[in-house]
Amino acid sequence: MISLLTTNLLGAMTFMGMDIINVPGLVEMLLRFILNMLMVWIIVQFFYYPKSQRRDYYFTFLLISVSIFMLIFLMDGSKMKIGAALGLFAVFGIIRYRTESVPIREMTYLFFLVALSVVNGMAAKLSLSELIIANILFIISVAVSESNKLAKHVSCKFVKYDNIKLIVPQRREEMKADLEERLGVKVLNVEIGSVDFLRDAALIKVFYEGLDNEANTADSLSAMPKDYE
């Protein structure tokens, strides 16, 4: 009597012609998943989170990476994989983030981690060493980009300034000194925006030397929020 439960030459257990467990495929999926999660966690934990301290994006980056990896790995056809990954990123950008102003740094990390998960999920023809080197190159790219040696870290704030007598170009140094005393930072440059002479106030953009671990998110604001007007 022919047994209904057999094992083929590739190590996959089958039942009546259907795979029950494919040991090599399962091992490959687990190894790639662990590698992908390790790389994503390193990038988010050691490069993104120390500056932003945003737990909501921390959560988002990890789960999106898991979702993209599993979807790409389990789908057949490389063209379909790439199209699905880019399509999902477009859906995230249109649906999830249309009601919220997402800083450019967060959007960059999101696309970066999606690309990393796609590479780990679809690189079936790459050897393990090639895959590890590719992931290391991703991490090196983030480390170099986040390094203050590559570019000087400059932060900015929007300030509703009340001493409009100092906004004239001839008194710019006095204005910087006044802002440094009030804000407690080293002011590098000041840009003058709208001026309200009736209220003796002006909207200005202050550029200053930020801390090494401080994320610059204020420059995503184009005007003073209405609650503070």
Q: Are residues 18 and 111 part of one domain? A: yes
Q: Are residues 114 and 16 part of one domain? A: yes
Q: Are residues 38 and 11 part of one domain? A: yes
Q: Are residues 171 and 114 part of one domain? A: no
The total of structural domains in the chain comes to: 2
At which of 100, 115, 146 does a domain end?
Answer: 146
Q: Are residues 170 and 138 part of one domain? A: no
- Note down the domain range covering 24: 5-146
Q: Are residues 167 and 57 part of one domain? A: no
Q: Are residues 162 and 136 part of one domain? A: no
The pair of structure tokens assigned to 25 is 């495929």
- What is the per-residue DSSP string for the chain? ---SEEE-TTSEEEETTEEEEEHHHHHHHHHHHHHHHHHHHHHIIIIIHHHH--HHHHHHHHHHHHHHHHHHHHS--HHHHHHHHHHHHHHIIIIISTTS---HHHHHHHHHHHHHHHHHHH-TTS-HHHHHHHHHHHHHHHHHHH-TTTS--EEEEEEEE--GGG-SGGGHHHHHHHHHHHH-S-EEEEEEEEEETTTTEEEEEEEEE--TT----GGG-SS--GGG-
Q: Are residues 92 and 60 part of one domain? A: yes
Q: Are residues 165 and 136 part of one domain? A: no
pLDDT of residue 98: 54
Does residue 57 contact residue 40 with C-beta atoms inside 8 Å? no
Q: Are residues 122 and 80 part of one domain? A: yes
At which of 92, 113, 146 does a domain end?
Answer: 146
pLDDT of residue 13: 57
pTM above 0.85, yes or no: no
pLDDT digit string (tens) for the chain, length 229 residues: 445 445 554 455 565 556 667 777 788 889 889 999 999 999 999 999 888 888 888 988 999 899 888 878 877 555 555 666 566 666 555 545 555 567 778 888 988 998 898 888 876 667 778 888 999 999 999 988 887 666 666 778 888 999 889 999 899 999 999 999 998 888 988 999 899 888 889 999 898 886 655 555 555 454 544 444 4
At which of 100, 117, 146 does a domain end?
Answer: 146
Q: Between the CA atoms of 13, 123, 147 and 90, what dihedral angle is there, to the nearest 10 degrees?
A: -100
pLDDT of residue 4: 47
Q: Are residues 79 and 17 part of one domain? A: yes
Q: Are residues 215 and 133 part of one domain? A: no
Does residue 139 contact residue 39 with C-beta atoms inside 8 Å? yes
